Structure 1
Amino acid sequence: MFDPLRFLSPLLLLMALVIAPAAADIPDVDRLVSLPKLDGTAPSSPVWSPDSNRIAFLWNDHGMPFRDVWLSDGEDLTRLTEFAPDPESVLGPGEDLSLEALRERARLREQRGVSGLVWHPDATGLYYVLAGDLFFLDLDSGQARRIGAGGGALSISPDGRWLALIRGGDLWTKSLESGQFRRLTELGAPGIGTVAIGAYVRPDAYVGRYRWSPDSGRIAFEFIDQRSVRRVPFPSYLHEEPLLHEVRRPYPGDTDLIRRVGVVEVDGAGPDWLDLDDPTRRLVLDLEWSPDGDRLLIMQGADVAEQRWIFIARPADGSIEQIWHDERPRRIYPMFRALWSADGEQVYFIGDHENFYRLYAVPADGGDPRRLSGDYDIASDRGGAWIQLEPGSGDILMVSAEHSPYERHVHRLPAGGGETERLTSLPGLHQPSLSPDGKRLALIRSGDTMPAELYWLELDAASAERRLTHSPLPEFAAMEWLEPEYVSFPSRIDDFEIHARILRPPNMEPGKRYPVMFGSIYSNTVLKQWNPDRPTSFLQQQMALKGDYITVLVDVRGSVGYGVDFREAFQGDWGGDDLEDLHSAVDYLATLDEVDPDRIGIWGNSYGGLLVLTALFKKPGVFAAGVAGAPAVDIWHFTGFDQHLTRRPDTHPEIFEHGSLLSLGENLSDPLLIIHGVHDDIVPLKTTLMMAEKLKLLGKRFELDIVHDSGHWWAASDHYARYTFGRLVDFMHRHVPPGPK
């Protein structure tokens, strides 16, 4: 038989064997977004045993969404429950191809599994919630038993006598001695929603958070009452007949949602309400009992974010004293925390009145605050903040961007301030959980090419993070994922420095130019992380690995890690100077020999979708094509929970006058695809249909894809992910041709 390989030189033969399969080994988009997840299921909810020697957590080691209960002693892993369905029983369409059977199989495939994990105080077992029921798992026998209806926010009282949970909007306790349940509040009211899809399908009135007093005799809680909030309808079609599903959803300027703080006795007395001002205009940002249990720290923020208050309340007599107040007209996204010092003499809080999000200490009886941290932002991976006291020393553990704006590390700060000690060493983002004795950290950590995993860290100078889980499938480990380059360049309109994350194709052809793909565009994306929630990291890597595109992420103004001024420059100006940050990135890329400036695509979701539309509407020709997912088109249809961005129409009419994209569209000339979910109650589909109607009236051509049983993230289910990401990639290939030229 003729064998053409016999006539190849040894070198060419080696190249044929080694190089030729490389492109074929790169997973296609359909595989990247399908179940089981190639990058695995991220471990979640790590909780330390009372003796600090073990971590219980939720995980699936086969890349499926259903999480079971797992245990680690720092070395070995043990799976404690086995409720997750066999992947083979739910993957694929199955034998019954009727619509009803396919939808039921998809529902089973997307089950999330166990939630609400807490230890029994004697460490003999674990409480958890599954399918609406509360269970106790005995570690000696390995047997679990149902002990009642489930709920959320499970916690054990400091004295170990009670289990507390929120059920039906009310606060309940279960005696660990008698086993009896007691309903401590009668405040909850069921919601009006009839379809369980969306962010605002929740009770009409409910306990939002609670805190045990140190003596376990009282519980302070936040109560949220939205029974007078407007009812907003959302059509739902996949039923025997279409129905009009409703949710409570305030619009900017509405004043119907009430928040109150109360204290209830564990023996059932109360609640006693604290007399706080403006319950319809203030958020409760923190609740913390003092170490002696006599005082309650309450931090509130205005619903428009401009003002913040710290109060010390004495529930015994109902007195309330303000110890701190600040105001910033351009403040957005409150990321504040407050907690007591170990001796109860001071309150630590995160402030933004000196260029960065810093830590301060203020006397508990009032006075001037003292700055403790330096020129860096205290912020976690998603813009929030994690600070906690170290038992014994009283020193402060915190997550910050001190090392780099692209990373989040755990640091120890002396209680009196001064130099910090960095405790985590691996590059990337770290989400910590401190052991009860303060000697160890459980960490969920991810990096540029490392999906989120669980690590164990001993808090001594000689230790480094020890990886416990291995979540990605073997296919993932077989790939050589690309390391990004982090760059910065000047803004084209002001003195800010703009930061970007770039993935270049391997083995780029000299003298050739490559197209660029921006996305998924949003704030806080230039980070050393692998996105655990959405397949965006996969898409960026795959586009670059195949040699199709250089992929780029940009931290537009509003991002954390660069100081308060950069963060607040976003307020009331979305689609304005933030768009110029993207244009600055285009200008920078145009200086690179390998970039084809005529082939630059852009895509994003929600706020990112807004940026895509404004880019195509205001700067035609800068981007060759755009995909806008769930674009936040119209400020009048934002929610009342967005007022930290929008303010109110009666106080800031200028923002509302210019805050809608419905005034634009006449300059659209570049290809546009819009994707939106029918059940999106964060950015209603109605607003996209309004935008689409205007574009049609203007005679514009564009594409629109509506995802039927989806909320704000239209790719949450894997069958929708395969469809929508396939549409996105096909659209870009048509309008931003891939590969070098």
Structure 2
Amino acid sequence: MRGTAAVAGTTLSIDALYQPQSIIGTTPEGFAWSADGGRVLFLWNDEGRRFRDIWVYEVATGRKSRLTQLGKNGGDDGAGVSQTVDLGGGRIAYVLGGGLYLRAADGAVAAIEAGYRGVRQLAVSPDRTKLAFVADLPGDSRGRVMPGGVLLVRDVAAAGRKARAIAGGDDPKLYVKDFQWSRDGRAIAFDLADDRLMPERDIHYYAGGKLQDNRVARAFPGDETTRERIGVVDVASGRPRFYDRPDVKGLVWNYGLSGDGRRLFINSSDLEAKDHAVDVYDVASGARERFYGLRDAVHLRPDWQVEWAPDDDGLIILTDRDGYLQLYHQKTAGAVPRQLTSGKWEIASFSVDRDAGQIYFLANEAQLAERQLYRVAMAGGTMTRVSPKTPGTHEPVFSPGFSHAASFFSNDVTPPELLMLDLGKPGDAVAVTKSPLPGFYRQTWARIGYMEFPSHVDGTNLVARVSLPANYDPAKRYPLIVGSVYSDSVRNQWGGRRAHPTWGIDQYFVGQGYIVINVNVRGSWGQGRAHNVGQHHSYGETDINDLESGVRHLVAKGYVDPKRVGIWGSSYGGLVTLMSLAKKPGVYAAGVAGAPATNVWHAYPSEMMVAGPPTGADMPGRYEAQSPLFQSKGIADPLMIIHGSRDPVVLYSDTVAFTEKLIANEQPFELVTLPGGNHAWASDNLAQTRFAFNKMAAFFGRYLKPEQP
């Protein structure tokens, strides 16, 4: 109001920010189009509660309505419907609690496929006659459900007929990872994952007053890992054929059948993502040809995507072969790819409109932190921005025929909503949902902006997302929190990163008088190949230099008190936090490491993309240099570690090994153990979220001492 001084930010506590009925609302999810593109189903709760019911939006009338009333206890008793598909004729299928249900046109609901649980990946055939899905294996003689993944197909019209299993098996370590229908609906291409050679490990922990054992298939660098085989199964006969790759240990990034169903591409690489290969197979004979290949000895990020061009005229390839992730068209095997887009910006993903001969793609051409929607003709040339001029991040799901796109959209000041984009009218969008509760609009939120600055080490241009108090005073120097630190953390979307629910803790910090910063460290997407390969063999080196550059920049600009700087992050971000404290003593007054990856030898094999293989003349020094476990003596500044004891990703035993070193060296620290907590410790449950974030806030409050707003 006029005459009222601006406040620093939200007045809500951490407990008030993280409620079952969320002030920012419930995100709309699971967009599923009807065959004619006239309506889209989505999962939502208009009261900000956890349980998502099924809603429908009619494109022609602009009317939205709720189709199901499945939530109980006010909608706080679970995540609700997890997926839905439109079967046509007013019928829909959906997944609730891992079971499959069918809703008839008159609203009657029936449970189907009662023998299967863990149902997921619903996909209706192009002619809407068959429904395919993946589910866990049926129960054994004792009725116990066996985890796994079998691919099943059922006739949509035959309500009483059971689904047929057409891929997978009775071994839970041999499972269908994902699949896709052919355009004529006669076949399904699928990825069969095989974990039978992967080692199993026991994670012992105490929870519920007793010893527990979380036994998981878990590989370390150098171990056998998941092997993937791409197959095509004839739906009528159920007979599959597999198309083997030369490197059976390599990783598959995507695959696809040609429009006529006669050819199959497999887009893959080695485990370190240095050898990129696209093979094309004759579906009938299995004959293979190397369509595209490129080796890059320092390549880090497998952001490649491949799709068939219109009329099956070769392949569209998303690659950074010339420095930035751009689109190329390659007509024949071994031909030189023709570049369709260019610029010092990057494309995140794309979809091909085969009928119109156009490619729609998400890119950060407008600004590093954004994901806007564009299109370009197959001939290349001028591209058109399709999404509105509003800054932010789009995640579109295209209607059949590409007349519209249902877009999951948010930006720095707008929690996620469903926007309907009219692709025939670039810039035209309709807001379908309004998710935040009324109290959201009565709060004062952070002022968020972006800064560019050079690395203090090598001059590389860096970009940061900066959250300022709403009453920011340039005459003051504020305490600073760097984090949560991670790659790809500079995004113009609500909360910055979606992987952790940090939107509330960030807003709380700003409301308490802190500045919060995220830096697009080396190894991140969006600034080109030369930027991200700077992280090669460099966990805890180049990345922590980039973060220090952000601190130096804010200090030099007069924003920050250099004696009141904190840092925090989880997983890889925990590694970065520990390395920053160990190698940058005095830069940070305190650090919080969540589920910190202290030992690269115990990372997932995929981390070899950055860390390199566990062999070579530079070993073991290369892994030790990238592991906080071997750098712990340098830590002198206050440290808190938060870790869930059940974590299968970063082992709690590694935190124990790290703290044993600290104790032996008489280095003080605080350890917050979350009994039975998983890797995503801030997302397990609200009580744990509040507990852990309150611990973190109190810790930073002791050492950074922000002035009360």
TM-score range, shorter chain: over 0.9
Q: Does the 8 Å contact 2:166/2:238 carry over to 1?
A: no
**For residues 634 and 486 of structure 1, do their structure 2 counterparts lie closer, same or farther at Cα, with a shift above 3 Å needed?**
same
Mapping of 1:120-131 within 5 angstroms?
A: 120=87, 122-131=88-97
**Could you tell me which residue of structure 1 aligns to residue 139 of structure 2?**
none
Of the candidates 337, 345, 369, which is equivalent to residue 369 of structure 1? 337
**For residues 303 and 420 of structure 1, do their structure 2 counterparts lie closer, same or farther at Cα, with a shift above 3 Å needed?**
same
**Could you tell me which residue of structure 2 aligns to residue 266 of structure 1?**
235
SS at 1:485 equivalent: strand
**Could you tell me which residue of structure 2 aligns to residue 620 of structure 1?**
585
- Give, in angstroms, the shift of residue 625 of structure 1: 0.5
- Give, in angstroms, the shift of residue 483 of structure 1: 3.0
1:223 and 1:735 map into 2 onto residues whose CA distance is: 51
SS at 1:343 equivalent: helix
Of the candidates 565, 573, 590, which is equivalent to residue 530 of structure 2? 565
- Give, in angstroms, the shift of residue 641 of structure 1: 3.2
**For residues 395 and 238 of structure 1, do their structure 2 counterparts lie closer, same or farther at Cα, with a shift above 3 Å needed?**
same
One-letter amino acid of the counterpart of residue 520, structure 1: S
Q: Does the 8 Å contact 1:184/1:266 carry over to 2?
A: no
Of the candidates 21, 41, 65, which is equivalent to residue 78 of structure 1? 65
Larger mean CA deviation between 707-716 and 461-470 belongs to 461-470
SS at 2:310 equivalent: coil
Tell whether 2:501 aligns with 1:535: yes
- Give, in angstroms, the shift of residue 396 of structure 1: 0.2
- Give, in angstroms, the shift of residue 408 of structure 1: 0.6
- Give, in angstroms, the shift of residue 510 of structure 1: 6.0
**Could you tell me which residue of structure 1 aligns to residue 552 of structure 2?**
587
2:16 and 2:524 map into 1 onto residues whose CA distance is: 31
Encode CA deviations 1:695-728: one digit per residue, 9 max, x unaligned.
0000010000011122111111110011001001
**For residues 444 and 509 of structure 1, do their structure 2 counterparts lie closer, same or farther at Cα, with a shift above 3 Å needed?**
closer
One-letter amino acid of the counterpart of residue 154, structure 2: K
Tell whether 2:668 aligns with 1:668: no
**Could you tell me which residue of structure 2 aligns to residue 596 of structure 1?**
561
SS at 2:598 equivalent: coil
**Could you tell me which residue of structure 1 aligns to residue 144 of structure 2?**
none
- Give, in angstroms, the shift of residue 182 of structure 1: 4.0
SS at 1:560 equivalent: coil
One-letter amino acid of the counterpart of residue 51, structure 2: F
Q: Does the 8 Å contact 1:627/1:728 carry over to 2?
A: yes
**For residues 518 and 123 of structure 1, do their structure 2 counterparts lie closer, same or farther at Cα, with a shift above 3 Å needed?**
farther
**Could you tell me which residue of structure 1 aligns to residue 376 of structure 2?**
413
Of the candidates 581, 593, 611, which is equivalent to residue 646 of structure 1? 611
**Could you tell me which residue of structure 2 aligns to residue 56 of structure 1?**
41
- Give, in angstroms, the shift of residue 520 of structure 1: 1.1
**Could you tell me which residue of structure 2 aligns to residue 687 of structure 1?**
654
Q: Does the 8 Å contact 1:250/1:639 carry over to 2?
A: yes
Tell whether 2:181 aligns with 1:212: yes
1:479 and 1:259 map into 2 onto residues whose CA distance is: 49
Tell whether 2:683 aligns with 1:697: no
**Could you tell me which residue of structure 2 aligns to residue 231 of structure 1?**
200
1:353 and 1:186 map into 2 onto residues whose CA distance is: 36
Tell whether 2:680 aligns with 1:726: no
1:153 and 1:186 map into 2 onto residues whose CA distance is: 14
2:499 and 2:583 map into 1 onto residues whose CA distance is: 31
Of the candidates 625, 628, 631, which is equivalent to residue 658 of structure 1? 625
SS at 1:727 equivalent: helix
**For residues 396 and 25 of structure 1, do their structure 2 counterparts lie closer, same or farther at Cα, with a shift above 3 Å needed?**
closer
One-letter amino acid of the counterpart of residue 38, structure 1: I
Matched positions, count: 685
Larger mean CA deviation between 533-542 and 222-231 belongs to 533-542
**Could you tell me which residue of structure 2 aligns to residue 523 of structure 1?**
487
Tell whether 2:511 aligns with 1:545: yes
Larger mean CA deviation between 638-647 and 681-690 belongs to 638-647
**Could you tell me which residue of structure 2 aligns to residue 136 of structure 1?**
102
SS at 1:41 equivalent: coil
1:213 and 1:30 map into 2 onto residues whose CA distance is: 49
- Give, in angstroms, the shift of residue 666 of structure 1: 1.6
**For residues 236 and 87 of structure 1, do their structure 2 counterparts lie closer, same or farther at Cα, with a shift above 3 Å needed?**
farther
Encode CA deviations 1:487-531: one digit per residue, 9 max, x unaligned.
111111113111112222233456432211111111222221113
Mapping of 1:294-693 within 5 angstroms?
A: 294-379=262-347, 385-425=348-388, 426-461=390-425, 463-509=427-473, 511-531=475-495, 532=498, 534-546=500-512, 548-651=513-616, 653=619, 655-693=622-660
1:351 and 1:594 map into 2 onto residues whose CA distance is: 39
1:593 and 1:155 map into 2 onto residues whose CA distance is: 55
**Could you tell me which residue of structure 2 aligns to residue 8 of structure 1?**
none
SS at 1:705 equivalent: strand
- Give, in angstroms, the shift of residue 142 of structure 1: 2.0
- Give, in angstroms, the shift of residue 533 of structure 1: 5.3
**For residues 672 and 581 of structure 1, do their structure 2 counterparts lie closer, same or farther at Cα, with a shift above 3 Å needed?**
same
SS at 1:603 equivalent: strand
- Give, in angstroms, the shift of residue 241 of structure 1: 3.5
**Could you tell me which residue of structure 2 aligns to residue 183 of structure 1?**
164
Encode CA deviations 1:85-135: one digit per residue, 9 max, x unaligned.
3248x6xxxxxxxxxxxxxxxxx4xx2221231110x34221111122211
- Give, in angstroms, the shift of residue 212 of structure 1: 1.8
2:311 and 2:283 map into 1 onto residues whose CA distance is: 19
SS at 1:237 equivalent: strand
**Could you tell me which residue of structure 1 aligns to residue 128 of structure 2?**
160
Encode CA deviations 1:7-33: one digit per residue, 9 max, x unaligned.
xxxx9xx96xx559x679611122112
1:416 and 1:350 map into 2 onto residues whose CA distance is: 16
**Could you tell me which residue of structure 1 aligns to residue 245 of structure 2?**
276
Q: Does the 8 Å contact 1:519/1:602 carry over to 2?
A: yes
Q: Does the 8 Å contact 1:249/1:640 carry over to 2?
A: no
**For residues 286 and 405 of structure 1, do their structure 2 counterparts lie closer, same or farther at Cα, with a shift above 3 Å needed?**
same
2:128 and 2:151 map into 1 onto residues whose CA distance is: 17
**Could you tell me which residue of structure 2 aligns to residue 194 of structure 1?**
none
1:320 and 1:23 map into 2 onto residues whose CA distance is: 62
Larger mean CA deviation between 224-233 and 495-504 belongs to 495-504
2:65 and 2:524 map into 1 onto residues whose CA distance is: 39
The percent identity for this pair of structures is 33
Larger mean CA deviation between 649-658 and 636-645 belongs to 649-658
Larger mean CA deviation between 548-557 and 458-467 belongs to 458-467
**Could you tell me which residue of structure 2 aligns to residue 221 of structure 1?**
190
**Could you tell me which residue of structure 2 aligns to residue 173 of structure 1?**
153
- Give, in angstroms, the shift of residue 544 of structure 1: 2.2
Of the candidates 243, 250, 254, which is equivalent to residue 212 of structure 2? 243
**For residues 530 and 25 of structure 1, do their structure 2 counterparts lie closer, same or farther at Cα, with a shift above 3 Å needed?**
closer
One-letter amino acid of the counterpart of residue 404, structure 1: Q
Q: Does the 8 Å contact 1:489/1:499 carry over to 2?
A: yes
Q: Does the 8 Å contact 1:135/1:146 carry over to 2?
A: yes
**For residues 292 and 474 of structure 1, do their structure 2 counterparts lie closer, same or farther at Cα, with a shift above 3 Å needed?**
same
Q: Does the 8 Å contact 1:376/1:401 carry over to 2?
A: no
Larger mean CA deviation between 707-716 and 695-704 belongs to 707-716
One-letter amino acid of the counterpart of residue 581, structure 1: D
1:41 and 1:28 map into 2 onto residues whose CA distance is: 20
2:63 and 2:177 map into 1 onto residues whose CA distance is: 36
**Could you tell me which residue of structure 2 aligns to residue 99 of structure 1?**
none
**For residues 373 and 666 of structure 1, do their structure 2 counterparts lie closer, same or farther at Cα, with a shift above 3 Å needed?**
same
- Give, in angstroms, the shift of residue 265 of structure 1: 1.4
**Could you tell me which residue of structure 1 aligns to residue 146 of structure 2?**
none
- Give, in angstroms, the shift of residue 560 of structure 1: 1.3
One-letter amino acid of the counterpart of residue 542, structure 1: Y
- Give, in angstroms, the shift of residue 260 of structure 1: 1.1
